[in-house]
């Protein structure tokens, strides 16, 4: 839902995210992205998998498979794996999503380790969006406990700015 070309004032930036998408969806249509030989891919996926009952282990494995597929199809593309975002149940919305904090933290920890081992850039956006006192999405950055508002997108953009160039 982010207008990244507007946020970064760069018309070459394309948002290929699809609302409600899952890792299997990306794997199914990955050539639509890799055929254009992008310079960089910022990958953030997995929350919807968990909401649909996909295990944290399979979600993690699919994210790794996406990265490996990108590497094999466009080896010159720089891949930046972003953590899954925190969620917040206090809004009372999206209970299938907002009850997955522990699974999200598990996936993020495993992604961080896997990326380090495989020399892939990992950026922990979770830490920038969470409350100071707990691991829930800061309500200042969301209007429903799942999706970011303008302030949330600003915080996200600030966290990845140094990698956009």
Q: What is the DSSP string of 44-56?
A: ---HHHHHTT--H
Measured distance CA(76)–CA(78) in Å, rounded = 6
**Treating both helix axes as pointing N-terminal to C-terminal, what angle do 56-73 and 23-34 enclose, rounded to 10 degrees?**
10
Residue 9 region, left (φ>0) first, then alpha (ψ -120 to 50), else beta? left
| CATH code, domain carrying 100 | 3.40.50.1110
Cα angle value 104/110/114 (rounded, 5°):
140
Residue 11: what pLDDT?
77
What's the domain range around 18?
4-164
* Number of domains composing the chain: 1
Q: What is the full per-residue pLDDT of the chain (165 aa) written as tens digits?
A: 677 777 777 777 777 777 888 999 999 999 999 999 999 999 999 999 999 999 999 999 999 999 999 999 999 999 999 999 999 999 988 989 999 999 999 999 999 999 999 999 999 999 999 999 999 999 999 999 999 999 999 999 999 999 997
C-alpha torsion 94→96→97→98, nearest 10? 70
Neighbours of 151 (CB within 10 A): 13
What distance in Å separates the CA atoms of residue 39 and residue 20, rounded to the nearest whole number?
25
| Rounded-to-integer distance, Cα 76 and Cα 92, Å | 43
Q: Calculate the CA 121 to chain-centre distance.
A: 13
CA dist 164 and 7 (Å) reads 11
| Global confidence as pTM | 0.94
Q: How far is C-alpha 119 from the geometric centre of its chain's CA atoms? A: 18
């Amino acid at each position: 839902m982010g207008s990244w070309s507007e946020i970064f004032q760069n018309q070459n930036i394309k948002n290929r995210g699809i609302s409600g998408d899952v890792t299997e969806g990306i794997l199914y249509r990955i050539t639509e992205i890799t055929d254009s030989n992008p310079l960089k891919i910022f990958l953030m996926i997995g929350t919807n998998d968990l909401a649909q009952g996909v295990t944290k282990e399979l979600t993690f494995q699919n994210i790794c498979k996406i990265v490996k597929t990108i590497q094999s199809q466009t080896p010159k593309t720089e891949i930046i794996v972003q953590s899954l975002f925190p969620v917040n149940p206090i809004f009372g919305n999206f209970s299938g999503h907002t009850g997955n904090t522990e699974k999200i933290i598990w996936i993020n920890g495993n992604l961080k380790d896997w990326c380090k081992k495989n020399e892939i850039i990992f950026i922990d956006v979770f830490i920038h969006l969470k409350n100071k006192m707990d691991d829930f999405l800061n309500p200042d950055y969301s209007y429903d406990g799942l999706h970011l508002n303008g302030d949330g997108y600003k915080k996200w953009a600030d966290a990845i700015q140094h990698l956009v160039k």
